[in-house]
Homo-oligomer: A and B are copies of this chain.
Amino acid sequence: MDLKRKISIAVIRRLPRYYRYLSDLLKLDITRISSKELAARMDITASQIRQDLNCFGGFGQQGYGYNVELLFNEIGKILGVDSGFNTIIIGAGNMGQALANYGNFEKRGFRLVGIFDVNPQIVGKRIKDIQIMHFDSIDEFIKNNRVDIAILTIPYNATPAVAEKMARLGIKGLWNFSPMDLKLPYDVIIENVHLSDSLMVLGYKLNQKYRRQA
Interface residues in chain A, defined as those with a beta carbon under 8 Å from any beta carbon in chain B: 4-5, 12-13, 15-17, 19-21, 42, 77-83, 85, 93-95, 97-99, 101-102, 104-105, 108-110, 148-149, 172-173, 175, 179, 181, 189, 191, 193-210, 212-214
Copies of the polypeptide in the assembly: 2
Residues of B within 8 Å of A181, CB to CB, are 20-21, 42
In the complex, the answer to whether B16 meets A79 with C-beta atoms within 8 Å is no
Given contacts A94-B94, A98-B94, A209-B172, contact A193 B203 (CB under 8 A): no
Residues of B within 8 Å of A105, CB to CB, are 196, 199
In the complex, the answer to whether B206 meets A148 with C-beta atoms within 8 Å is yes
Chain A residues touching B, majority SS: helix
In the complex, the answer to whether B95 meets A200 with C-beta atoms within 8 Å is no
In the complex, the answer to whether A191 meets B201 with C-beta atoms within 8 Å is yes
Q: How far is the CA of A196 from the CA of B110 in the complex (A)?
A: 10
Q: How far is the CA of A26 from the CA of B151 in the complex (A)?
A: 30
User: Nearest Cβ distance between residue A90 and chain B, in whole angstroms?
Assistant: 15
List 18 contacting pairs A-B, 8 Å CB cutoff, sorted by A. Answer: A12-B204, A16-B200, A20-B179, A20-B181, A77-B214, A79-B207, A80-B204, A82-B214, A83-B207, A83-B213, A83-B214, A102-B195, A105-B199, A110-B199, A149-B203, A172-B210, A189-B202, A189-B205
In the complex, the answer to whether A79 meets B203 with C-beta atoms within 8 Å is yes
Contact of A198 among B191, B200, B204, B209 (CB under 8 A): B191
Residues of B within 8 Å of A197, CB to CB, are 13, 16-17, 20
User: Nearest Cβ distance between residue A51 and chain B, in whole angstroms?
Assistant: 15
